[in-house]
Structure 1
């Protein structure tokens, strides 16, 4: 044995033990670190991903911003006490969405901008529309495409519209009778959409021959902003609530409800009076069909202008009722999601075009 062999034979087991110990430590460190890394990654992915709503949420995919109007997608709970709804405009969530909300006005004539992927078995398509039938183009191919209707009509699946509700006991009327002192206009009308073929334009042209009408709006070169609009309605004794359709069910808009809310008496032209009376107290408005001609209507308005006590009778409904306005389209989306969340039944809506565009045919 060469000199030093004894030392090498003594050190060799120590070296092996040291190497084994270091290797074992490295193994545990790597294994622990790898495990911790995986757990951390899983936690981060779960908590931070905005594309993974909670499992018990109802996902409503808004396919188009209605008329380009954007709104807070997280407001259903705070504004309308509707929980469990996840509103999104992320089309990547199409396959997971419980419903797709589609505004009619945004649909292309050839339907090319509608979803092209197969519809999941659990998913419902909601047809949303709040324009009048006379002011809406009819599209071929929609007849049997939707499951649910979101509309102003009473027979829609989801009904969202302005309406009259009972007042709570502690509700104070801040409009009437104070508004009487502000009135310096007799008849007002604000209009931008002008079509000489519409019945409302023909009626206005005859009515103005017999009574002075304070007319504003884009057509008259007098654009009105929101604050001016509210002020004008409080200053007018009567407002021409003339709709652009006169033979379709249930169509009455803010043209009727805003004057009611702001203390002006609406003079309604549109659906028959009996349909108005389904939504509004009969003594809260005047209907053009109550009179044989525009001249007779003008005479009635002029007589009310001279008789304050008779005029006040059109506000008696305010003792017990008030106007409930809606927030378009935010409220519509939230209520649509709530409907989908609470109604799990299989649904199919056939012949949409006939339902919406056919005129009143109940024989009245």
Structure 2
């Protein structure tokens, strides 16, 4: 009877080399398949007369697809206020002429050889810019293994664009499609009226939560499950028993409260889950960044923060109290009489304008892990335990 020959050490070595080769080729393919020029830009004819203008190179894909850049850079010519103009390209052949090389942090990894240009030394006038919009856990799980692996980015980037207030250009989630980015609430010159009766006439339920990300590092799903023991929270979205509901947000005005619970508890990470609710006559209940971060950017007394309560039960009881006391509830909407939203230009135009300024003193991120680590994440609902989410 003929048996199988046992694997020799050479066979095993060849086997593992083959597996590693497939792994690294896969990494290379997945990164580089998004590096072909964006089709939406390729199909456009560049307007004449702008040849001397600054050039921004969209070097990587954005969130896995180059086409996603079109919401920020829709045309080959970016026209901004004060006659500021930049040329937009995604063609790597033009890297030597680009004043900015724009890199999406979610579309690179710690294997720099898979995405950095080989044997290329950027000229001193060229700025490499990193942009991102997700909480830190996303990059640990999807692209970088841990805080230490960010060291491969040391010395690469000059500027950053993100929701963090220490970024070169701030692009947080408080924006308006018509007004711009990095918006702020400021006092109105003249107070407006608030029709309390009309607002309350629409209210038919207590609290709403729309959710599509079911298991989170913030454990918001556990918090709300405990709240449900003391009050009713209407849950819609793909994580609810009712399944996905495309019209869920159309019902916000029916509810007195919306649970603006983030997937991560990280400094300054406040998303549209909170800011979009401020546009409605509904009170957001926040769990995400520490309360002080909300206070820096939201109007006074415009929200309720979970950290003000010892337990989910205490928060639930307070919401029930407000439900039964209309005058106290309406105090959380009073700010609408006195505040309005003002915004800066959208960040692509801020980036373009910055290229025409005197930027001889540039900031080089020689310690990217140190910069990244200045922003903390937390492992508990009262922000006592720091964690690398």
Band of TM-score, shorter chain: 0.7 to 0.9
Which residue does 2:22 correspond to in 1? none
Going from structure 1 to structure 2, the CA distance change for 1:51 and 1:274 (only over 3 Å counts) comes to same
Match of 2:365 among 323, 330, 349: 349
Using the alignment, how far apart are the partners of 1:178 and 1:315 within structure 2? Answer: 13
Give the superposition deviation at 1:103: 0.8
Q: Counterpart of 2:282? A: 264
Task: Report how many residues are paired.
Answer: 309
Tell me how far apart the structure 2 counterparts of residues 86 and 176 of structure 1 sit (CA, whole Å): 49
State the distance in 1 between where 2:194 and 2:89 align. 38
Kindly state the Cα deviation for residue 173 of structure 1 after the two structures are TM-superposed: 7.8
Structure that is richer in helix per residue = 1
* Cα distance in structure 2, aligned partners of 1:127 and 1:91: 17
- Which residue is equivalent to 1:152? 163
After superposition, the Cα gap between the structure-2 partners of 1:106 and 1:265, relative to the gap in structure 1 and judged at 3 Å, is same
Indicate the structure (1 or 2) with the bigger Cα radius of gyration.
1
Cα displacement (A) at 1:99: 0.4
Instruction: Write the mapping of 1:1-364 to structure 2, written as runs, cut at 5 A.
Output: 50=46, 54-67=50-63, 68=65, 69=68, 70-71=70-71, 72-73=74-75, 76-77=78-79, 83-111=84-112, 112-116=114-118, 117-137=120-140, 138=144, 139-140=149-150, 141-161=152-172, 162=174, 163-166=183-186, 178-195=198-215, 197-220=217-240, 222-225=243-246, 228-246=247-265, 248-323=266-341, 331-347=346-362, 348-360=364-376
The answer to whether the 8 Å contact 1:99/1:123 transfers is yes
Q: Secondary structure at the match of 2:251?
A: helix
Bigger drift between 279-288 and 169-178 goes to: 169-178
CA–CA distance in 1 between the matches of 2:276 and 2:296?
17
TM-score by structure 1 length?
0.75
| CA offset digits 1:2-28 (Å, max 9, x no partner) | xxxxxxxxxxxxxxxxxxxxxxxxxxx
Deviation at 1:313, TM superposition (A): 0.8
The answer on whether the counterparts of 2:203 and 2:255 sit within 8 Å (CA) in structure 1 is yes
* Partners of 1:196 and 1:202 within 8 A in 2: no
For structure 1, the 5+ residue unaligned runs are 1-47
| 8 Å CA contact 2:77, 2:86 repeated in 1 | no
Task: Report the aligned-residue RMSD.
Answer: 3.1
The 8 Å contact of residues 107 and 114 in structure 1, kept in 2 or not, is answered as no
